[in-house]
Amino acid sequence: MIRLFWQAAKVAPVLFAACLFSANSASAQSVPADKEAVNQTLEQINNYQQLNQNNQSQVTNVNQLRDVSPTDWAYEALRSLVDRYGCIAGFPNQTYRGDQALTRYEFAAGLNSCLNQIERLIASNSSSVDQEQLDTINRLQQEFEAELATLGGRVDEIESRTAVLEDSQFSTTTKLKGEAIFSVSDAFGDVADNDGVEDNSDENDLQTTLSNRVRLNFDTSFTGKDRLRARLQAGNITEYDNDATGTNSTRLGYENNNDNNIEIADLHYRFPVGEKANVWVGTEGLDLDDVFNVNNPQLEDSGTGALTRFNRYNPLLFRGVEGAGAGVNLDIIEDKVGVNVAYLTDNASDSSQGEGLFNGSYNAGAQLEFAPFEALQLTATYVRDYQSGSTVDDDGDVVGAVNYGGGTVSGAVVQPFGAGVASKADKFGLGASFNVGEKIALGAFGGYANADSLGAGDDQSGDIWTWGANASLLDLVKEGSVLSIAGGMLPRFTSDDVAEDEDTSYLVEALYKFPLSDNISITPGAYAVFNANHDTTNDTVYVGVVRTTFEF
């Protein structure tokens, strides 16, 4: 497997991004016309602003400004204004930090602040200025005329830029968040048998691929506590499914292949009710893993988590009928106990018989969250699943096919009672995540379902089992990096009434997410599927991946 991983890694792209920004500069009429001098002036002011950007204590005595020379006439002038009006702010360490030409601009900035304060005091009739003070102010203004004008021009420039930004901003309520994935991948090994006929002697002829997925999330808040999400998505990510490798167990956790056509992938709204509840309502892309806690924080995200579909979260519970519906998160005891409920269906917009919001396939469930202490989170989940079976629409396409494998396995578990036969199932699951100190994160899940056929005259049933576990080492080599090993038993069907999965399939995955920057991460990894499709006659199938994720 190591050899195969490095074979895939050899073709990984080296991604570089460089951005070159140019700063506009503006000059007041009273500053020198020479461009270099103007730029130097603005740079000096920028340096001053950066030094003075923190909250600063008010200086009420000029003697506190230790770097101001007492022999300078401006020292006495400034002292008289500060002592009388308390109108200048120094730096946090009580110094001006002035040297050479910068001293004039620092001094001018303080003088400008003092003049503004004096104007406010006079306007409010809380103070007056005698002739001696007026003479002092006039002399200071004349001495620092160029510097004050430059400061004024700088302020005008900032105000102008701010006005432009306000006029051209995207929205006052909506934030745009984006993610782009570049994926290099290849699969190795013989094509797995998925129809019960031993025809898997030929090695697959798949080639190394480079593909992508792009998401744009428009997150809108109307109250500051709610969120309306509209997601646009496009991609051509390779699908390692039945048609490619002979098994759905090799599918990637971030796959999306719509030939890079833009589509609406998510459209749902979350809003608070009181202090304890959050309500979800969605018409597209609302999934159980949105409303429920999948309890797998290191691996659940499709862009930066597990490479495989199986290891992101429990496929028996959280993959199934979904898309539109509603849910509620209820906080019983803050940070300790919570309850989540949801009802989801996949054809809510279809008004035909046997479909719609309440007459079609659905998932309805509840989840209990329990955190006895901060490092440990536990979940217990129940889901009632009804799948109406496959039908043929007016275009001749098969829709609504039963699938209890969550798209993570091929075999009897997918349609346990035959193609097109409606089924129901009661699903139960447990999940746990545990942080060992600050560097190690552990996770595990287990799922069981009792499924029954709803076909005419049928009285067939069976059981479905699955489990998974993972361990992650955090901040290895660099802060933000994650080295993970994950795996488990893919959903398996057993029954005394109908054909069952005779053997047991296992999947093992290793990956290392390495952040190149705050916005770019690269994740090389590899995984193997043993006894694909719960058939020991199938050879092990391997996949090597290098995923690069851009977040912006």
pLDDT in tens, 447-482: 999 999 987 667 899 999 999 999 999 999 999 999
pLDDT given for residue 18 in this prediction: 32
pLDDT given for residue 499 in this prediction: 92
Q: Which residues pair with 175 in a beta bridge?
A: 219
pLDDT given for residue 313 in this prediction: 97
pLDDT given for residue 8 in this prediction: 41
Residue 146 has pLDDT above 70, yes or no: yes
Question: Which two three-digit tokens encode residue 137?
Answer: 């102010």
- Cα distance between residue 309 and residue 509, in whole Å: 11
pLDDT given for residue 393 in this prediction: 54
Lowest-confidence pick of 21-25, 91-95, 296-300: 21-25
- Cα distance between residue 471 and residue 487, in whole Å: 10
pLDDT band at 169 (very low <50, low <70, confident <90, very high): low
CB burial readout 353-375, b (16+ within 10 A) else e = eebebeebbbbbbebebebeeee
Element (H, E) at 143: helix 131-143
Residue 321 has pLDDT above 50, yes or no: yes
Mean pLDDT of the chain: 82
First to last CA, the chain: 34
For tokens 């719609």, the residue is 356
Residue 5 has pLDDT above 50, yes or no: no
**Region 189-194 average pLDDT:** 87
Cα distances (angstroms) measured from residue 306 to each of 299, 436, 513: 5, 20, 10
CATH number, domain 174-551: 2.40.160.10
pLDDT band at 201 (very low <50, low <70, confident <90, very high): low
**Region 208-217 average pLDDT:** 97
pLDDT band at 378 (very low <50, low <70, confident <90, very high): very high
pLDDT band at 145 (very low <50, low <70, confident <90, very high): confident
Query: CA dihedral defined by 502, 507, 508, 510, rounded to 10 degrees?
Result: 170
Question: Which two three-digit tokens encode residue 306?
Answer: 């597990």
Percent share of the chain, pLDDT over 90: 57
What DSSP designation does 204 have? P
**Region 129-142 average pLDDT:** 78
- Cα distance between residue 489 and residue 375, in whole Å: 26
Question: In degrees rounded to 5, what are phi and psi of residue 534?
Answer: 55, 45
**Region 325-335 average pLDDT:** 96
pLDDT band at 544 (very low <50, low <70, confident <90, very high): very high
pLDDT given for residue 101 in this prediction: 36
pLDDT tens digits, 269-320: 999 999 999 999 999 999 999 999 999 999 999 999 999 999 999 999 999 9
pLDDT given for residue 391 in this prediction: 59
Residue extent(s) of CATH 2.40.160.10 domains in the chain: 174-551
pLDDT band at 114 (very low <50, low <70, confident <90, very high): confident
